[in-house]
Amino acid sequence: MRQEHQQYHADLQAADNHSINPSQAPSLNSLVNQSRRNLLKGSLAMAACGFFGGKLLWGAEAFAKQGSLLGFTGITAQTSASFDQVIVPPGYTARAFFSWGDAVLDGAPAWQPDASDNWQAQLQQAGDNHDGMHFFPFADAPNSHGLLVINHEYINPTLHPGGLTFVDDGNGFKQRPLEQVRKEQAAHGLSIIEVRRDRDGAWQRAPKSAYNRRISALTDIELAGPLRADPRMKTASDPSGSRVIGTLNNCAMGVTPWGTYLACEENFHNYFVNRDAADYQQRVEHRRYGIGNEKNSRYYAWESVDARFDATPNAEQPHLGHCNEPNRFGWVVEIDPFDPAATPAKRTAMGRLGRECSVLSLGDGGRMAYYSGDDSRGEYVYKFVPEGRFDPAQPAANRRLLDAGTLYAARFNADGSGLWLPLVWGENGLTAENGFADQQAVLLNARGAADLLQATPMDRPEWVAVHPQTREVYVTLTNNSERGTRFPLDAANPRADNLHGQILRWNETAADPTATTFTWEIFLLAGDQPGALDAAGQPVSENLLGTINGDIFSSPDGLAFDASGRLWIQTDSDEQASHTANTGCNQLLCADPHSREVRRFLVGPWGAEITGITWTPDYRSMWINVQHPGISYPASDGQTRPRSTTVLVTREDGGVIGT
């Protein structure tokens, strides 16, 4: 079971992120001819001094004067395949808090250890593969009472007693049992749960709360913004083009200043198939997004029992059928956790991506940017700048702020400058003759628009984090095995066969989130320390050496700042691979952005990704997620079957975490 489970995850990991981008960013091709060494030396020199043109950019002087921000004892890496715990530094405790199958709705059936629950039960219980999340405090007791909103990215084979059942129909098409498919759909989406400290100060879930809610791949969701009711959004199941059933593959997230949650739809392409080869070739909103074009969709073959996932056009009546269904995924989904009756809304003005996250930077006068990574090899970093401004006195108007604005893609120049390229119809070649009939076409194929404007293809952009005081922006570039081959080296992505990834940071001009220019540098390259030996006792090859000042890690993914400016880094590496012999199990680390020191704070069980992070406003309670543990890890009810689990971390003396 363990091996099967891990192979499943490794396959998903490899294929989820297969490169689709045909762009080779010719404006940067000149860089290919420079030696990698020079490029690396250049970025390292910038990294070491923190200066561009003699000007201190990473303006954290105020924090530097306080000494190190890291006030805990770092822990060692765990490299054993039998490691099945969550460990934290001395003086801290970690407790399993909310696992797949735990009751969400009042009256939900208790989870069955043999996973024999039916889909109606799953619809009332926690979904699988916990990922991005956020704690929304109640005003009366913000540090001891709130709503925890948790994404459920996808499902594991452990969802069913005997794994996923596929039956060949004799013609090479895989068929799925409807009951399993419905349960898988019910295990996607997100959970909203009320949590509070009890009289003893211990955090508890409130099982009868009216706020508790499951949103899944079966929930009614509204389409909002420029593509609402657009012909390209109409399907047989929704001739109005204004309502979608469900949200898929919610990975990371964001929050708005008006208190809503932004779930983000990442690898939605794996759920659809278009079998018409000729149609597939010309339908960019399928092809450029990696929709499958074989007999079945890539993993789950839901289309065998749920026609909505078969996006093959109907030859007799091409405008009927479900070929537009994939157009209705890849969006930011805005959810009001405090209104359980509110219909979630997909905000189409923000563009359609393999969207990892949507992270706010709030500027002066209520101006905003929402940053997103598009996590596939060679995809781009984006930001959306709403046309309007946030005004706390206008709560109703705020609810429409994500329906109009400008989407940009990032170009990282070799000299450390950067440009935000506006994806605006009619400008810079985004015209009908290049395949963009209108702004809706630009939003639907934002990747194609960014190709045309020569945005910089990145090493799989994941989470973004914005420094709470300086508004410096950081992004994790998790890894890219095709860098240096399919995608040329460049200053921002300087390592060939980049298996460890890097963290990059930039300052918007004048610290204005809406600026169209910025300056950037590499914060660190992940990987082994110089001089490290691999599992065979041989020196680690040069492209796997990092620039980490402190504890090593591979494949940064989750990323967030606390209020004091500590940068928390979560990893999603393959601990079975040879390049992770020294970094081991996935982990949570903490970095001081000024000194760049990195210290390991938490290590999770073998086979798991560590992802999702949130705190109470006083930063004395922290939750993180253990996603798809490969081996037994005690869940919230003490059952030791591997289950994705939200873990609560506190300090034994009740102090602020990390200090």
Chain residues in the site for ligand FEO (CB under 6 A):
153, 251, 266, 356, 375, 462, 557
**Among residues 279 and 459, whose Cβ is nearest to Ca ion?**
459
Residue 88 or 589 with smaller CB distance to ligand FEO: 589
Q: Does residue number 459 form part of the binding site for Ca ion (CB under 5 A)?
A: no
**Which one, of 75, 88, 70, 72, lies nearest residue 649 by Cα?**
88
Choose the one of ligand FEO, Ca ion, none that binds residue 403, judging by a C-beta under 5 to 8 angstroms depending on kind: none
Q: How far is the CB of 570 from ligand FEO (least distance, A)?
A: 11
Going by their DSSP bridges, the two strands 243-245 and 345-347 should be labelled as unpaired
Q: Which is nearer to Ca ion, 117 or 572 (CB)?
A: 572
In the complex, minimum distance from the CB of residue 646 to ligand FEO, in angstroms, rounded to a whole number: 16
Tell me the chain's radius of gyration from C-alpha atoms. Answer: 23
Tokens of 576: 């079975």
Residue range at the interface with Ca ion (CB under 5 A); choices 34-42, 137-145, 553-561, 613-621: 553-561
Shortest approach of ligand FEO to residue 356 CB, angstroms?
A: 5
Q: Determine, following the binding rule CB under 5 A, whether residue 572 of this chain makes contact with Ca ion.
A: yes
Q: How many residues bind Ca ion (CB under 5 A)?
A: 5
Residue 528 interacting entry, from ligand FEO, Ca ion, none, C-beta within 5 to 8 Å by type: none
* CB closer to ligand FEO out of 46 and 248: 248
C-alpha 479/C-alpha 477 separation (Å) is: 6
Q: Map residues 214-253 to x or -, x wherever contact with Ca ion holds by CB under 5 A.
A: -------------------------------------x--
- DSSP secondary structure, 459-494, as one string: B-EEEEEE-TTT--EEEEE--BTTBTTTB---SSS-
Q: Are 645 and 611 in contact (CB under 8 A)?
A: no
The answer to whether 333 and 320 are in contact (CB under 8 A) is no
Whether 174 and 301 have beta carbons less than 8 Å apart is answered as yes
Within 10 angstroms of residue 158's Cβ, the number of other Cβ atoms is: 21
Does an H or E element contain 590, and which? strand 587-591
Could you tell me if 289 and 354 are in contact, meaning their C-beta atoms sit under 8 angstroms apart? yes
Residue 430's binding partner among ligand FEO, Ca ion, none (Cβ under 5 to 8 angstroms by kind) is none
State how beta strands 609-615 and 417-422 pair: unpaired
Nearer to ligand FEO, 205 or 383 (CB): 383
Nearest to 505 by CA among 461, 538, 564: 461
Q: Of the candidates 468, 471, 563, which has an alpha carbon nearest to the alpha carbon of residue 519? A: 471
Tell me whether residue 33 is exposed, middle or buried, using C-beta atoms within 10 angstroms of its C-beta: 0 to 12, 13 to 18, 19 or more: exposed
C-beta closer to ligand FEO: residue 102 or 459: 459
Choose among 222, 185, 195: nearest CA to 95.
Answer: 195
The Cα diameter of the chain in Å comes to: 71
- State which residue, 266 or 508, has the beta carbon closest to ligand FEO: 266
The answer to the question of residue 303 lying near Ca ion (CB under 5 A) is: no
Closer residue to ligand FEO in complex, CB, 460/467: 460
Which of residues 205 and 355 has its CB atom nearest to ligand FEO in the complex? 355
State the nearest-atom distance from the C-beta of 536 to Ca ion, in Å. 27
266 binding partner (options Ca ion, ligand FEO, none; Cβ < 5 to 8 Å by kind): ligand FEO
Nearer to ligand FEO, 322 or 447 (CB): 447
Q: Per CB under 5 A, which region of 69-77, 176-184, 195-203, 455-463 contacts Ca ion?
A: 455-463
Nearest approach, Cβ of residue 643 and Ca ion (Å):
15
Q: Which stretch binds Ca ion (CB under 5 A): 71-79, 239-247, 313-321, 459-467?
A: 459-467
Binding-site member from 557, 574, 575, 592 for Ca ion (CB under 5 A): 557
Interface stretch with Ca ion, choices 76-84, 309-317, 461-469, 639-647 (CB under 5 A): 461-469
| Smallest distance from ligand FEO to CB 628, Å | 11
Cβ–Cβ under 8 Å, residues 328 and 346: yes
Contact 93, 615 (CB under 8 A): no
Its sign, for the CA torsion 565, 571, 572, 578, is positive
Helix boundaries (H) for 239-322: 277-282, 284-287
The site for Ca ion (CB under 5 A) is made up of: 251, 462, 557, 572, 609
